[in-house]
Amino acid sequence: MLSIRVKPFLAYLSLFVLTLTLIGCTAVPGAVKERLSLPLDADIKTFNPVLVSDAYSAAAVGLVFSGLLTTDKNGNLIPELAEKWQFRNNGLELIFTLKPNLRWSDGTPLTVDDVLFTFRDIYFNPAIPSSIQDIFRVGEKRELPVVKKLDDRSLSFTLPEPFAPFLRFAGGASILPKHILEKTVQEKDSTGKPKFFQTWAIDTDLSTLVGNGPYLLKRYLPGERLVYERNPHYYRQPLPHIPRLVYQIMPSPDSTVLRFRSRDIDVIPQVRGQDFPILKRQEQRYGFRIYQLGEGSNRSFLMFNLNRGRNQEGKPFVDPVKAEWFNDVNFRRAIAYAINRQAMINTYYRGLGLPQDSPIPPISPYHLSRQEGVPFYDYDPAKAKELLQRSGFTYNAQNRLVDKKGNPVRFTIMTSTGGAGATLAPMIKNDLDRLGITVDLQIIDFTALIDRLDRSKNWETAMLGWGGGIEPHGSFHLWYSAGSSHMFNLGPHPGEPPFPGRVVSDWEKEIDRLLIAGAREINEEKRRQIYGQFQKLVQEQVPMIFMVSPLAMSAVNNRLQGIDPSPAGGVLWNLDELRLAE
């Protein structure tokens, strides 16, 4: 995902996306000199930042909204809409003071009442459950902070107990306009839900999308492009320097290099390994530069559906035979040993990648490496067979794997079109075929994939990913057993009736305990120890098999000036400060 300073918080919510496939666009005569063109490899789902659950929508709204704080190139917190902040009462009270004379993009004053409304009436509103609300809940009781206005420019948050991630999350959350959204929170639809859930959908009147970020969204053509213009009331006036920006939606990675070289797009956020050799030789000829930023932070994985629950008609979400396999830790470990991740690095990434061994990326100070004791699964087919045999699996006369009841081992891997998964999943299929396992591939649209995972729960295994960040609690809603995005064993969403048969394992409960303890602990060294235990447990139980990280490399047109890259911030972290050469 593109790293842009104006929206750090949405990076924590950008779940289920493999390294972005890079795309291009058609030049717009007469506008190119004043327009920055960036790629987006899938269409968006919403303009509502509270309801965002994918990297593409996060990128779209990240230009429109700002938070109280943002981050610098190294991920350190710095002021944005807030002028300053301070903790009181042993860290249980956090006070923000706004900058003076802030305005919304329609010219309306942005006040502390907007901030109060954003948190009290939206993020902390039990009638508007969201992944953001999951992240803000504190401790075992899952309590929400209490927010209170202090004066015309200050407000306070009172926490029920110490909560280390709160500053980063509260500071980075998008501040929303009370004068636009208040009625949508108060009024109900025919089902009794706030109309807020239907607000700022992709068919919205863009004139109602009032923001406080560097850009205004002026035009959206579904499946084609999003067009932005500079916000005249942005708090960092006269920034941004670039007057217009376009996100092009075109899932054609092979055409990206051609369009980039023809200067139709200005940035390739992630240079693919197979494109790197030729692009590197052409930097001077075509007027661009490739920045190498170290190991990428996105986590890509193969995930098992461990859900033993049944729908309202009594039908199991997962075939009970396959559910038995997936819930056997020896089976999951065997699959991990059977996947040749180094071959993925050598072929798909042309050697420009590293194996992933943890849900927390190396850019985080909480990352646990192999040298520090995190379990890992290098390619070892003999070890895979040993584990399978330990659980009663054998081979039939055709040398195909069968379980102890004689059922042939066969399952489906789902992944999305356009991303790395569409290429890597066939490699996994071949690896497992050598182990005697038959794999069927189902490559579908990203939106349809998320719907299967989130709503029907009718899937077996899936290959996807999410954007990793510095703060581990950013993926709390994915790992917490009652979290809204606990995809590998998803419970009922708020308002849904409970479904029978779902079992939360002891190790999931232990992950819950560690996540709560890690958020509660203020001492950084102790936090690191707790998240080290979390990483070890995830790798021991392998509900997800982490794949590989491409080395982070971005190609940037030389006309884009002011680039100051870093592993944490990427090449566009200071987008509002960048300029286009004359």
From the list 228, 226, 206, the residue with the least C-alpha distance to 42 is: 226
User: Residue 328, SS3?
Assistant: coil
Q: What is the pLDDT of residue 192?
A: 93
Contact indicator for 336, 545 with CB cutoff of 8 Å? yes
- Classify residue 476 as left (phi > 0), alpha (psi -120 to 50) or beta: alpha
Radius of gyration from C-alpha coordinates of the chain = 24
Which residue pairs from 521-527 have beta carbons closer than 8 angstroms and sit at least 24 positions apart in sequence? 521/162, 521/164, 522/91, 522/162, 522/164, 524/365, 527/164, 527/366
Q: What is the pLDDT of residue 403?
A: 97
Task: Name every residue whose Cβ is closer than 8 Å to that of residue 292 and which is 6 or more positions away in sequence.
Answer: 551, 552, 553
User: Residue 347, SS3?
Assistant: helix
Q: What are phi and psi of 318, to 5 degrees?
A: -125, 135
Q: What is the pLDDT of residue 32?
A: 59
Contact indicator for 483, 516 with CB cutoff of 8 Å? no
User: Residue 457, SS3?
Assistant: coil
- The residue ranges of the chain whose pLDDT is under 70 are 1-33, 418
Predicted TM-score of the model (pTM): 0.78
- CA-to-CA distance for 487 and 454, rounded, in angstroms? 7
Residue-wise DSSP of 130-182: -HHHHHH-BTTTTBPPEEEE-SSSEEEEE-SS--TTHHHHHHHSPP--HHHHH
Q: Which residues pair with 556 in a beta bridge?
A: 267, 289
From the list 301, 304, 325, 310, the residue with the least C-alpha distance to 503 is: 310
